[in-house]
Amino acid sequence: MAMATLYRALLLLFILSDSFGRICSLGVGINYGQIANNLPSPSHVAYLLRSLNISRVKLYDADPNVLTAFANSDVEFVIGLGNEYLEKMTDPVKAQTWIQQHVQPYISQTKITCITVGNEVLTGNDVRLMSYLFLAMQTVYGALSNLGLSKVVYVTTAHSTGILSNSFPPSAGTFRPDLAEYIQRIVNFHSQTNSPFLINAYPFFAYKDNPGQVPLEYVLFQPNQGTLDPITNLKYDNMLYAQIDAVYYAIKAMGHTDVQVQISETGWPSKGDPNEVGATPQNAKLYNSNLLSRLQQNEGTPAKPSVPVDIYVFALFNENLKPGPASERNYGLYYPDGTPVYNIGLQGFLPRMDYSASWKNALSFFVLFLSLASLICAL
């Protein structure tokens, strides 16, 4: 009797979850950072993401425990080569060795689709790293080609919006002149290898720095008057889409219209220091829930209406060991115990560490049900 009741409760929970319909059609990705000492095991995270039907995950490294935990799943992985690897990756032998150790052993069972070489290198202060970036990307790509993987795994790097010298109006978007030489090579590389240009975009920062001038509704995807690009007459009702188009126009100014822009990070913190205006659970909920609603519509930006916006939300969990202001530790959709930080309709399931026999059976049933649900979504 108890088991039957438990099964019915789990089934009802999943069916009634308002996430069921929207997540089935959602191509959103999630950033899975691990700068914390209290996170659930990768195998537990695999259950959680399966229950959310999220099929794209971005890592900041190539953690073998994570890649193994997601073996034989439908999850596509972006893995990362940290900035500390850039100099080594300019050496073809070392680049190929890294791929043989961190990609080849897993790729037959875990879908690795992308390697990000470095993160926000061009807006850092290390000129040596800047000089290594393009060569490292080129060398990693060459190593993938030698191993027959360049058609399966693409190579890119992630930038902050700080690479822009002008972002408004979007049609006047341009890259910083002092970075132009670096970025031109990278844009040419993306065009040649058919790989995306990644940008980490956070409207939160713009609001935090100028709360009196930047309308909160504009950055949270809420109804607002919007802004008009006087050159194109295109109207923007949110800052994120304006930032994306500014990058598109900056790339166009470098002679390319064949490179797709993807958002490798965006999110909103649920907590911050006293001077971090707007870092609240209410605003974080509005930003992420409204963003998911927009993504569900499979829409493009005003300048690229036929190209669906492609986004990886930051982040899956709050990370308690991240340095910097309090906001850095509070971007997660979930607490490490699997409890949602706020409700945006993503009713995931993080299995408990200690199972009774009934819970083991219930978990098996629930996972089976999720598998069937995923099949329904795919039809």
Greater confidence (78 vs 9) lies with: 78
Residue 129: pLDDT over 80? yes
Whether the bond into 315 is cis, omega within 30 of 0: yes
pLDDT at 239: 98
* Catalytic positions, written as ranges: 120, 265
pTM to 2 decimals?
Answer: 0.87
pLDDT at 350: 58
Q: pLDDT band at residue 60, thresholds of 50, 70 and 90?
A: very high
DSSP-derived secondary structure letter, 37: S
Instruction: Please state which of the ranges 24-33, 86-95, 173-182, 350-359 shows the lowest mean pLDDT.
Output: 350-359
Per-residue pLDDT tens over the stretch 144-172: 999 999 999 999 999 999 999 999 999 99
Q: pLDDT band at residue 23, thresholds of 50, 70 and 90?
A: very low
pLDDT at 370: 53
- Of the candidates 108, 54, 110, which has an alpha carbon nearest to the alpha carbon of residue 79? 110
The residues, ordered by sequence, that sit 6+ positions from 93 with a Cβ below 8 Å of its Cβ are none
Residue 13: pLDDT over 50? no
Average pLDDT of span 220-234? 97
Q: pLDDT band at residue 52, thresholds of 50, 70 and 90?
A: confident
Give me the amino acid identity at 126: D
Average pLDDT of span 184-196? 98
- Using CA atoms, how far apart are residues 89 and 137, in angstroms rounded to an integer? 8
Contact 316, 243 (CB under 8 A): no
Q: pLDDT band at residue 343, thresholds of 50, 70 and 90?
A: confident
- List Cα–Cα distances, 339 to 56, 217, 318, 335, 352, in angstroms: 21, 27, 11, 5, 12
Percentage of the chain with pLDDT > 90?
81
- List Cα–Cα distances, 81 to 8, 9, 56, 137, 278, in angstroms: 45, 43, 18, 10, 32
The residues, ordered by sequence, that sit 6+ positions from 80 with a Cβ below 8 Å of its Cβ are 58, 59, 60, 61, 62, 115, 116, 119
Three-state DSSP at 262 gives strand
pLDDT at 348: 55
Per-residue pLDDT tens over the stretch 297-341: 999 999 999 999 999 999 999 999 999 999 999 999 999 998 999
pLDDT at 51: 86
- CB crowding 301-320: b at 16 or more within 10 Å, else e: bbbbeeeebbbbbbbbbbbe
Average pLDDT, the chain: 88
Residue 234: pLDDT over 70? yes
- List Cα–Cα distances, 324 to 36, 129, 154, in angstroms: 14, 22, 31
